[in-house]
Amino acid sequence: MSLLQSFNDGKKKLAVLIDPDNYDEFSLKNLLEKAVANKVSYLLVGGSLLYKNQFHTTVEFLKENSTIPVIIFPGNSFQVSEKADGILFLSLVSGRNPAYLIGEQVIAAPAVQQANIEVIPTAYILIEGGKISATSYITQTIPIPAQKSEIAATTALAASFLGMKVVYLEAGSGAETPVNSKVITAVKKTVNLPLIVGGGITNVNAVSLAFNAGADMVVIGNVLEANPKILDEIGLFFNS
């Protein structure tokens, strides 16, 4: 079964986002053990801006030490690895910066083709999360206001007409507030595509709200860097 087919199987998914800059081998091993124990569905790897040269070694370590599918969540055209199982080929459709709508994708395309990994066309939609996120700053794009569910829904609809296969609603790394439940519900009612929600999800309640609002996959990331034990709490809920 392909990754995209697994996205469409109707089951709820839990993903962990790993920024290679924020983990050493010891902390990565600890996180991976918790991910395996809590039956995490996918491991996403990437970041808005990577200072350290650890992207490829992180992907390799995850593949060598678990059977959880590893999916690239690229912050730029350099984040490509043949060791991964697939890549979310993101287009930042909520913004109007051509570099992140199509520019970085053109640069990355040959490397992705050569890597011979599964490509998942993904509509990436930034939603206001209470503060300026690294993604918003780096891409020089304005997120959709948190309460404007109709804008998010029609943006997702346009993306589906353009052929996108997945929608990713993102409040941003370390967001003060996760994506509004009304936004999640509005998007899910408008497009019949797998819906990923991430950013600002730091506890079981936030995971529950996102799933109940219509998310097919919930992504947790930044909170695990400071408190990896929260994955045990979230995993207990997810697997129940």
Instruction: Indicate which CATH number applies to the domain containing 226.
Output: 3.20.20.390
On the 0-12 / 13-18 / 19+ scale of CB atoms within 10 A, 39 is: exposed
Residues 6 or more apart in contact with residue 214 via CB below 8 angstroms: 184, 185, 187, 188, 189, 195
Give the range of the structural domain holding residue 209, as residue numbers without chain letter.
Answer: 13-239
Q: With respect to residue 107, please indicate whether it lies within any of the assigned structural domains.
A: yes
Q: With respect to residue 5, please indicate whether it lies within any of the assigned structural domains.
A: no
Note the pLDDT tens digit of each residue in 13-32: 999 999 999 999 999 999 99
**Residue 44 pLDDT exceeds 90:** yes
Note the pLDDT tens digit of each residue in 79-129: 999 999 999 999 999 999 999 999 999 999 999 999 999 999 999 999 999
Domain count of the chain?
1
pTM above 0.95, yes or no: yes
Q: With respect to residue 80, please indicate whether it lies within any of the assigned structural domains.
A: yes
Q: With respect to residue 25, please indicate whether it lies within any of the assigned structural domains.
A: yes
Note the pLDDT tens digit of each residue in 174-210: 899 999 999 999 999 999 999 999 999 999 999 999 9
- DSSP, res 101: I
Tokens coding 21? 């800059």
Q: With respect to residue 7, please indicate whether it lies within any of the assigned structural domains.
A: no
- Please give the average per-residue pLDDT across 142-148, as a whole number: 97
**Residue 50 pLDDT exceeds 90:** no
**Cβ–Cβ < 8 Å for 71, 88:** yes
Q: With respect to residue 4, please indicate whether it lies within any of the assigned structural domains.
A: no
Nearest-angstrom CA–CA distance, 83 and 116: 9
Q: With respect to residue 45, please indicate whether it lies within any of the assigned structural domains.
A: yes
Note the pLDDT tens digit of each residue in 117-127: 999 999 999 99
